[in-house]
Amino acid sequence: MDQLSRELAETALDGAYGQLSEVAAGLDAAAVLRPSRCAGWAAGDVLYHQLLDARRALRTLASPGTTQPDRDDISYWRSYSSGGDVAPGSQLAAEHARHVRIVASAYLPAQLSWEWTETADAACRAARACPYDLVTTQGHVLQTTDFIGTLAVEAAVHYLDMVVGLPAAPPPDPIPLRLVRRVLGGLLGAPLAIGWDDETYALKGTGRLALTDSERSELGPAADRFPLFG
C-alpha cells in the first residue's frame, strides 16, 4: 500500500475535526444526551472522548520520536482489533468508557463545545506546523504523517457515532472516510469482496453495523475477521 501523504492526512484531519466542531456548536442540553453508536455513550460523551484525543494530539506533536517507527497509520489500529489490548470489551476499554461517561456529565454543553473547538483548532494548526518527522505517543513511534492520519480516522468514525441521533447533522466529509477505508483495507489485507461505499465500510468494518448473512457469504472466510477494529 502506498505511503500516506502529509497533505492528505492534514486535509483529512481539518475536515474531520471541522465537522465535529460544526455539530458541537449546535449541541444543547437535550442533544448532548442523544444516544450514539458507542455502547453506553451519549453524543456528548463521544465529543468528550474526541476532546481527549485532541489533547493527546497536542502532546504528541510536541514529542519527537527518537527511535525507528514501530507503527504506521494502519498497524496502529491492531491494538483496537479483536483480541487487542484496547479492543472493545477489554478491561482498558471498559475503564476508559467509565471515565468518559463520568467526566463528560460534568460539562455544560456550551463548555464542552467551546473546549472541543478551541483544542481541535489548535491540534489542526499544530499538525500543519509540526517540524518533526517522527513523534511518540502511547509508547509507540510513528511518522508524523501517519500519526495525523490516525487522528483523522478516529474522528471520522466517531463523527458517525455522534450524529446517529442528530438527523440535522451534515453527511460525513468524504476525505476522512477515504482514510478509514485505507485502514480497513490494510487490516483486511485483501480486496474487499463487497461494493460498500466508504460510510458503509466504516460502519461494518468497525462493528457499528452487523454483517448480514448474505454479506458473510460474500466475504467468505474474511467475515470472521470483522470487526477489523473497534
Q: Could you give the domains of the chain?
A: 6-225 (1.20.120.450)
Check if the beta carbon of residue 218 is closer than 8 Å to that of residue 193: yes
Confidence (pLDDT) at 167: 94
Q: What pLDDT sits at residue 216?
A: 97
pLDDT in tens, 67-118: 999 999 999 999 898 777 777 878 888 899 999 999 999 999 999 999 999 9
Q: Do residues 77 and 145 lie in contact, with contact meaning Cβ atoms separated by under 8 Å? A: no
pLDDT of residue 138: 95
pLDDT recorded at residue 201: 98
Q: What is the mean pLDDT of the chain?
A: 96
Q: Which three cell numbers stand for residue 115?
A: 473546549
Per-residue confidence (pLDDT) for residue 218, from 0 to 100: 96
Give me the pLDDT at residue 90, please.
84
pTM to 2 decimal places = 0.96
Question: Which residue numbers in the chain have pLDDT < 70?
Answer: none
pLDDT computed for residue 219 by the predictor: 96
The answer to whether residues 16 and 8 touch, using CB atoms and an 8 Å cutoff, is no
The predicted structure's pLDDT at residue 135: 98
